[in-house]
Amino acid sequence: MEKIKGTVEKANARGIKLDGKWYNYSKFMEEDIPKVSEGDRVEVDISGDWIKGVKILSHRPSELVEDRESYFTEKRKRDLERQIVVTRLACLNTATEILKSHARPIKAKSLFRVAEELENWVWRGLKREIERDIEEDRIEFEGEE
């Protein structure tokens, strides 16, 4: 048996990747498979390509966790902001078509009022639900540590 130390590059239910090479958990492991995450420092007992034992030396640095959390939360916020812009543009287009059907010229104030009413109808409470989901994802992610 050989011992290898390294930083986990990838991990899944079947094994871990260290220094560019995958090692699979042996079905003959005497211990339970530990929860290993990317970035963790480990010492692995191997026989060929099979893991016989894993000792976690240290968990990934917390700043990586914060960066990853921040990335996903910010990505969801950007996606939401993008969707809001797309919805607003669609509402402006629809409001323009509605107001064009009237005999009088379109005024900006009327256009924005109708577009805002359409936007409020489209979202009908969904913004709060999405923002709540983002917050729940953040809390759930913090609980994984």
pLDDT in tens, 84-112: 899 999 999 999 999 999 888 999 999 99
66 and 118 co-located in one domain: yes
22 and 88 co-located in one domain: no
Tokens 């000792």 locate to 55
User: Structural domain of residue 121, as residue ranges?
Assistant: 62-143
Q: Rounded mean pLDDT of 5-11?
A: 89
20 and 45 co-located in one domain: yes
Q: Is 125 helix (H, G, I), strand (E, B) or coil?
A: coil
CA distance 115 to 103: 19
11 and 33 co-located in one domain: yes
Number of separate domains in the chain: 2
CATH number of the CATH domain containing 13: 2.40.50.320
The pLDDT assigned to 138 comes to 62
CA distance 7 to 42: 6
Residues 51, 45 contacting (CB under 8 angstroms): yes
Residues 17, 53 contacting (CB under 8 angstroms): no
Residues 75, 52 contacting (CB under 8 angstroms): no
54 and 66 co-located in one domain: no
Mean pLDDT of the chain: 82
- Claim: this prediction has a pTM higher than 0.75: no
